[in-house]
């Protein structure tokens, strides 16, 4: 039995600078801080007065469903498969636009903020689609089309990722002091804006279950293959960033707690992506695999924390200013 093949990872060549396409392969390894590092300068270049808080929010919008999934999976009785179908639907560009419109209604310059949120959501998804994600990808047009887009340019692991992560930290540090002085970030919506926001929030959170069956029938994230236990033998399977345990020789999945690996040669316990097929209903024979590092998750957690701190600091600053103005008024 031949061992599985370790996926090839490109390396930066000396000709990369002369080949923009080859260099682009190494610019698409997004964690939250990377998105901030790439998207903040681009947004500021086009709209110099764009508020940092809304740019950072836009960088997070496509990831909100995946953040919610991680939280909800900790609750007892949660169906991982149904939650994944909900998440995959909600992470589409259509739902990003829906949430962007809802949030823009809370801003004074709603049209400009909607443009910032929507264009950055699109850029975020394009960067995500540039990654190699077996069994995963971006469903831009869901729920109207379940075509999964993945350009398969680069794995998340590369040393240049550190550069863009640091760039994200620098962008936040440099723009933070001025950003928290912005007093026009939020505005109480009138009845028309409030109604629009309410409808958008209902659509965003309430409608994805309506499309769960069509997502399942489209075999999104191999959901149908994984669920159909009796007929999955011989079928192709891809798992993105799953957990492998050396002692039990198993990987986790959306449906079954574990799958046995028929040819566990060449990798150890940790996070891996695999390509292969079901040898039987409980065993996967791996054709290719890729071992992931965990640093990407840490950078995302830091980026999310800093985004929350930025908004908290801004709101605290606004509240302090209002109190000070109130006291001066009384005097």
For residue 83, the model assigns a pLDDT of: 95
Averaged confidence pLDDT in the chain: 86
SS3 percent helix, strand, coil of the chain, rounded to 5, is 55, 10, 30
What average pLDDT score do residues 112-136 get? 94
- Which residue carries 């990003």 as its tokens? 96
What average pLDDT score do residues 33-44 get? 94
Tokens of 82: 């149904």
What average pLDDT score do residues 234-257 get? 87
Asked whether residue 320 carries a pLDDT value surpassing 80, the answer given is no
Asked whether residue 330 carries a pLDDT value surpassing 80, the answer given is no
Helix H segments across the chain? 20-24, 32-46, 52-60, 64-72, 80-90, 93-104, 110-129, 160-179, 191-206, 212-217, 223-227, 295-330
Q: How far apart are CA 98 and CA 279, in angstroms?
A: 42
For residue 25, the model assigns a pLDDT of: 33
pLDDT band at 160 (very low <50, low <70, confident <90, very high): low
Q: How far apart are CA 127 and CA 25, in angstroms?
A: 10
- Report the candidate in 246, 245, 252 with the shortest Cα–Cα distance to residue 237: 252
Q: How far apart are CA 299 and CA 81, in angstroms?
A: 27
What is the residue extent of each domain of the chain? 24-221+295-330, 232-291
Asked whether residue 23 carries a pLDDT value surpassing 50, the answer given is no
pLDDT in tens, 162-203: 788 899 999 999 999 999 999 889 999 999 999 999 999 999
pLDDT band at 2 (very low <50, low <70, confident <90, very high): low
Tokens of 238: 């891809």
Asked whether residue 326 carries a pLDDT value surpassing 60, the answer given is no
């Amino acid at each position: 039995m031949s061992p599985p093949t370790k996926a090839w990872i490109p390396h930066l060549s000396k000709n990369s600078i002369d080949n923009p396409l080859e260099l682009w392969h190494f610019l698409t390894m997004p964690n939250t801080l990377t998105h901030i590092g790439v998207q903040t300068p681009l947004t500021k270049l086009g709209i110099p007065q764009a508020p940092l808080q809304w740019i950072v929010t836009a960088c997070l919008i496509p990831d909100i469903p995946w953040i919610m999934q991680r939280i909800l999976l900790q609750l007892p009785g949660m169906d991982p498969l149904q939650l994944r179908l909900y998440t995959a639907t909600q992470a589409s560009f259509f739902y990003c636009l829906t949430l962007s419109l809802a949030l823009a209604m809370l801003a004074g310059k709603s049209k400009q903020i909607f443009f910032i949120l929507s264009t950055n959501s699109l850029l975020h998804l394009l960067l995500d689609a540039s990654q190699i994600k077996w069994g995963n990808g971006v469903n831009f047009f869901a729920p109207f089309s379940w075509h999964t887009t993945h350009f398969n340019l680069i794995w998340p692991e590369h040393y240049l990722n550190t550069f863009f992560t640091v760039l994200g930290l620098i962008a936040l540090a440099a723009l933070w002091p001025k950003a928290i002085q912005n007093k026009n970030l939020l505005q109480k919506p009138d009845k028309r804006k409030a109604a629009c926001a309410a409808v958008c929030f209902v659509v965003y959170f309430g409608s994805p279950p309506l499309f769960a069956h069509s997502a399942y029938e489209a075999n999104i994230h191999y959901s149908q293959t994984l669920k159909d236990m009796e007929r999955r033998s011989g079928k192709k399977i891809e798992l993105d960033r799953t957990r492998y345990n050396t002692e039990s020789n198993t990987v986790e999945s959306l449906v079954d707690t574990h799958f046995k690996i028929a040819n566990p040669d060449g990798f150890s316990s940790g996070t891996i992506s695999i390509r292969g097929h079901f040898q039987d209903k409980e065993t996967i024979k791996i054709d290719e695999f890729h071992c992931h590092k965990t640093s990407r998750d840490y950078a995302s957690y830091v980026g999310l924390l800093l985004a929350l701190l930025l908004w908290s600091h801004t709101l605290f600053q606004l509240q302090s200013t209002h109190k000070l103005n109130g006291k001066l008024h009384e005097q």
